[in-house]
């Protein structure tokens, strides 16, 4: 069974639903989209404002996920968003928390390094209040403190648009992910392109550091 993380930095949010049924038909249980990074706040104010309005529109229509038994999780710091948007995220997470047909994760105000720093601070706080000892901090414990705690690490990361970097996406979780880069722009990345990525992935030998 595949787990796929789909990288789609700054793409229009209405594309997020494009492959939902394709993923389900293929038995893919987890899909992550990179919607808005911590660095994206530095973009022109009118562009950021337009994206926020697009997010509100998308999340307003997101009940389709709830009706489809699909769990929604938002990765990142919600505190910088408007109260309306933040409350909507929390509402969708709560409504879908027990659904298990598929999990869609939206990385919004997310950065991989920021996520690691946040987890390190949480670990330090736990040591400070004596909930744990430093020796109890291992990879498994640290992973549980990330935004993605309890979610499997990605098997495959797809980066459309011609760039050959991950741009601060799932920095910790992608240690052994297979990477697929394509020049196809995200709006043009259709079911046929998804099949190409999965076919490429199927040909790879994954040893996770072994022989």
Distance CA 55, CA 39 (A): 17
At residue 160, the 3 state secondary structure works out as coil
CA distances from 149 to 106, 134, 152, 179 (A): 14, 19, 8, 22
What pLDDT shows up at residue 8?
A: 41
CA 69 to centroid of chain Cα atoms: 18
Angle value at C-alpha 72, between 70 and 77, nearest 5 degrees: 175
Tokens linked to 66? 């709830």
Tokens linked to 134? 């430093």
Tokens linked to 127? 């040591």
Length of the chain: 211
Cβ atoms of residues 175 and 139 within 8 Å: no
- The b-or-e profile of 111-135 (16+ CB within 10 A means b, else e) is bbebbeebbeeebeebeeeeeeeee
Query: pTM for the whole thing?
Result: 0.87
Residues with pLDDT less than 70, the chain: 1-18, 208-211
């Amino acid at each position: 069974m595949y787990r796929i993380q789909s990288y789609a930095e700054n793409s229009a949010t209405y594309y997020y639903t494009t492959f939902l049924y394709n993923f389900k038909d293929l038995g893919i249980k987890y899909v992550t989209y990179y919607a808005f990074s911590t660095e994206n706040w530095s973009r022109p104010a009118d562009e950021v404002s337009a994206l926020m309005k697009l997010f509100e529109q998308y999340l307003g229509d997101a009940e389709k996920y709830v009706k489809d038994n699909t769990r929604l999780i938002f990765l990142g710091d919600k505190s910088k968003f408007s109260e309306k948007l933040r409350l909507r995220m929390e509402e969708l997470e709560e409504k879908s928390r027990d659904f298990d047909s598929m999990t869609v994760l939206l990385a919004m105000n997310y950065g991989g390094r920021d996520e690691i720093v946040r987890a390190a601070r949480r670990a330090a706080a736990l040591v400070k209040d004596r909930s744990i000892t430093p020796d109890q901090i291992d990879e498994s414990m640290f992973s549980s403190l990330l935004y993605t705690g309890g979610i499997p690490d990605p098997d495959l990361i797809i980066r459309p648009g011609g760039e050959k970097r991950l741009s601060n996406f799932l920095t910790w979780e992608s240690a052994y992910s297979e990477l697929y880069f394509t020049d196809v722009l995200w709006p043009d990345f259709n079911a046929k392109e998804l099949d190409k990525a999965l076919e490429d992935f199927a040909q790879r030998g994954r040893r996770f550091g072994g022989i």
